[in-house]
Structures are given as C-alpha cells and as structure tokens.
Structure 1
Amino acid sequence: MSSRSSSTHQDGKTLQSDLKVSQKRTNLNVKLPAQEKKVELGKKVTLLRGISIIIGTIIGAGIFISPKGILRNTGSVGMSLVVWIACGVLSLFGALSYAELGTCIRKSGGHYTYIMEAFGPQMAFIRLWAELIAIRPAAMAVISLAFGQYILEPLFMPCAIPPMAVKLATTIGITSVMYLNCMSVTWTARIQILLTFSKLLAIIIIIVPGVYLLFKGEAPYPVPEGPN
C-alpha cells in the first residue's frame, strides 16, 4: 500500500509539473496585443529655428513702420527719441511681467493659461476668442500691409504705389505663408531663419549710420512736416 501511495504521489507531482510546463509554453506562445501608438507631431524645430522664431516674434513690423510717423508727429529728433525711450521702458515692464508669469505658471498656453489661473475659465475663454477673431487678424493685416508696401516700393519709386497693388501683394503674401505653413514645417522654419537675419541686417543698417550721424551732430535729411 505504501509503495502504491508513493507512486501515486509521484505521478501526481509529475502531472502537476507537466501542466506547469505546458502552461508556460502556452503563455510564451501567446502574443501580447501591440500597444497603440500615439499620434504625435515630428519635432522638426531645431534650436536655431526656435531662436529665429522667437526673434521674429519680438521684432515685428512696427519697427519699420513707426519711425516715420513718430518723427512727423513729434516734429523734432530729440522728442522722437524721448517717445522711443518711453515706449521701450513700457515694453520692458511688459516683458518682465511675462517673464514672471512664465516662471510662476509653468504651463503651455500663453495668455489663455495665465488668465485661466488668475480669473477663471470664462475670462480665459473670452480672451481666447477675442485673440482669434480680432487681435491676431488685425496684427496679421498690419504686418501683411507693411510687407506689400515695402516689397512694391522699389518697383514704383519715385511714384506712389497704387492701393490695389498693395492689396494684391498683401493677399499673395498671406496666401503663400498659409500654404507653406500647411505643407512643410521644415521649409517654414528655413524661411523664418532667412527673414530673421534679414530683419537683423536691416535694423543694423538703420541703427549704425543713425548713431554715427547723431554723434557727429549732423542731420542731412529734413524732419518731415506734421499734418496741416
């Protein structure tokens, strides 16, 4: 009886071990379902491209449009410099405020996130739609009109540029930029780098001779007269 019971016990152990081995083999043969891949945009904006985008955002079209009007309305070079310095100080306050917000609220979203944290979702929603409907289109219209004006000015000098030509150039510029942004991020970033260097070169060409003549005390061009 003892030999039979021992043999039965051993057979039971052997059967259990065989079952475990078969289960392991089955588990190894079963393929786990593939994890769903996340849909993500490819990172194509390098450091140089990012810096050029930021510089292009900071240096807008206003620096090329405003000087003539400021000099005409102030009537003197000294007063126009005072206006520029005052506007620079005001812009510095705004930049420091945004730097403080960016370090305190470490979330993406810009104005929407800051207003959301400070005033709640309703004000953030209103600000977002105001920027989408009014602020951004108005800024883009001003920049595009400046582009159309300056791109056609060498072709029509010394005559005045027809308003319809400026509008057509503006429309072509906006459409081209929109199409390029939709088709290729890489080419958009490359053109942004080219335009950023062009802006910096234009500003250097304006500032360096102006500072030189300022220190020499010369004003070879008359101040534009104000409106009658």
Structure 2
Amino acid sequence: MDAKTEKLNLKREVGLMGAVSLIGGTMIGSGIFMTPQTVLSSIGSPGASLVVWGCCGFLVILVSFCYAELGTVIRESGGEYIYILKTSGPVVAFMLVFTSVLFVRPAGVAGIALGFAQYAVAPFYPGCHPPVLLVKCAAAAAIIVLAIVNCLNVRLSMSVQVFFMVTKVLVLVVIIIGGVVMLIRGHNENFEDSFENTNVGINPIGIAFYQGLWSYDGWNNLNYVTEELKRPEVSKRLKGL
C-alpha cells in the first residue's frame, strides 16, 4: 500500500471581515494621531502638508494593487519574504528576515506600543507628562497581551482586531465631522495662504514623506497570512479595490 504523505497546512479561519480589519485596523493606528504634527512642522504649511498626505496615500494605493495581484498569484504566507525567496533566492530572503526580525519589526512594534501607552496613561496625569517608566511598562504590557491573544486563537485575535478597527474608524469619523463643522462655522484661517512658508528642501520633504508613509504602514499585512484566508482570491481582489 502506498503511504500518503500528509502536508501540514494552516487553518483557513480568516474571513473577509477579518482580512479587512487586519489591514484597516493596522493602518489606523497611533501613527495617524502622532505624525500629523511632525509632517506639518517639517513641511512648514498646511497646504503642502495635505499634498504630502495625498501623495503618500496615492503611493500606498499603487503598491496595494501590486500586493493584491501577488497574493492571488503566489498563495503562500510570508509576504515579501516568500516573494523574494521565489525571485531572488534564499540568501536575499534570509537577509530580509534577519533584519526584519531583529531590527525593523521590533522597532515598529515598540514605536506603536509607546504611542498607545502615552495616550492610554495621559488621562491619569492631566496637566503634566506621565512618568516615562509607566509609559514603557504600559507599552510592554500591551505587547505581551496582544502576543498572548494571537498565540491562543486565530478567531479570537481576529475578533479583537475587528473590534479595535471599528473603534478607531468611529474615532476618525468623529474627528472628521468635527473638522467639517468647524469649517462650516467659518474657522478656515488655516487655509488662508495655506502654502505660505513651505519648506521645499529635500530634507524637510523627505522627513514629511517618511512620517506620512509610516502612518500608512500596514497595507501589506494581509499577505503574511494568505494561507489562513478562507477565500484568498476574493479577499485579495477586494483589498485591491
């Protein structure tokens, strides 16, 4: 009798809503609430700041289309690692994983966690800055809790992701509506001579674009869990749209 070899596969438990929340919930993070002031101070004017945000969004849309197509062609988890492995070989792919695991990903997670911790503990210290040690402890606790949740169950982690995505979208809607109301009431002084004092140097424009693109980070997260999607061809296509 021929022995059948069984292949170890990931469970396909991530549905369409979970896939959307994995992208939207990650992109709408603490960065969008922290970097606008840096973008504005770097570029020097509100009008140029809006141009930078628009250009960053357009670039993210283009690369998202590319990743959506890659996700439908190469249906393996791993994101850019699996793409580089299949196109450039194991050496380059290993260098990517090595730098990502040891430097890039930990630095990004630490920055996001610290941003979250600052906002989380700020209500307990009105009128003053919270202790640095407390902020770091809160950030570490948030990282540990989310890591445990992701290790326990995929569905539980997706439920948490969906909940936070809906919450952050509602917060952004409140902010947008508040801004529109202020404009209707005539508070448009920031749009008068909106391009005045714009810094056109390479350094300020580069810093502004870096901060803007960092706020949009997370558009590629779905490709890391391609093998866990229930219908990857549908989720990827809708992501591209």
Normalization by structure 2: what TM-score?
0.67
Q: Identify the residue that residue 126 of structure 1 maps to in structure 2.
A: 95
Matching residue within 154, 163, 176 for 1:207 = 176
Which amino acid in 1 is paired with 2:166? F
Unaligned ranges ≥5, structure 2: 191-241
Q: Identify the residue that residue 7 of structure 1 maps to in structure 2.
A: none
Unaligned ranges ≥5, structure 1: 1-31, 222-228
Which residues in structure 2 correspond to 1:72-221 (within 5 Å)? 72-214=41-183, 216-219=185-188
Among all aligned residue pairs of Structure 1 and Structure 2, give the percentage whose two residues are the same amino acid: 39
Q: What's the offset of the Cα at 1:96?
A: 2.7
Q: What's the offset of the Cα at 1:209?
A: 1.9
Larger Rg: 1
- The DSSP-based 3-state class of the residue aligned with 1:194 is helix
Residue by residue over 1:62-103, the C-alpha shift from the partner in whole angstroms, topping out at 9 and shown as x without a partner, is 212111222333343222212211222222232233234334
Residue by residue over 1:116-173, the C-alpha shift from the partner in whole angstroms, topping out at 9 and shown as x without a partner, is 2322221112112221111211111111011101111122122112211111111111
Which amino acid in 2 is paired with 1:208? I
Change (3 A) 1:44 1:90: closer
Counterparts of 2:67 and 2:8, CA distance in 1: 32
Q: What's the offset of the Cα at 1:196?
A: 0.9
Q: Identify the residue that residue 16 of structure 1 maps to in structure 2.
A: none
Which amino acid in 2 is paired with 1:187? L
Change (3 A) 1:69 1:173: same
Q: Identify the residue that residue 10 of structure 1 maps to in structure 2.
A: none
Which one scores higher on RCO, CA 8 angstroms, separation ≥ 6?
A: 2
Residue by residue over 1:188-210, the C-alpha shift from the partner in whole angstroms, topping out at 9 and shown as x without a partner, is 22221211111111111222222
Farther off after superposition, 84-93 or 68-77 = 68-77
Change (3 A) 1:104 1:71: same
Q: Identify the residue that residue 21 of structure 2 maps to in structure 1.
A: 52
Which amino acid in 1 is paired with 2:108? A
Q: What's the offset of the Cα at 1:42?
A: 4.9
Change (3 A) 1:85 1:99: same
Counterparts of 1:166 and 1:219, CA distance in 2: 36
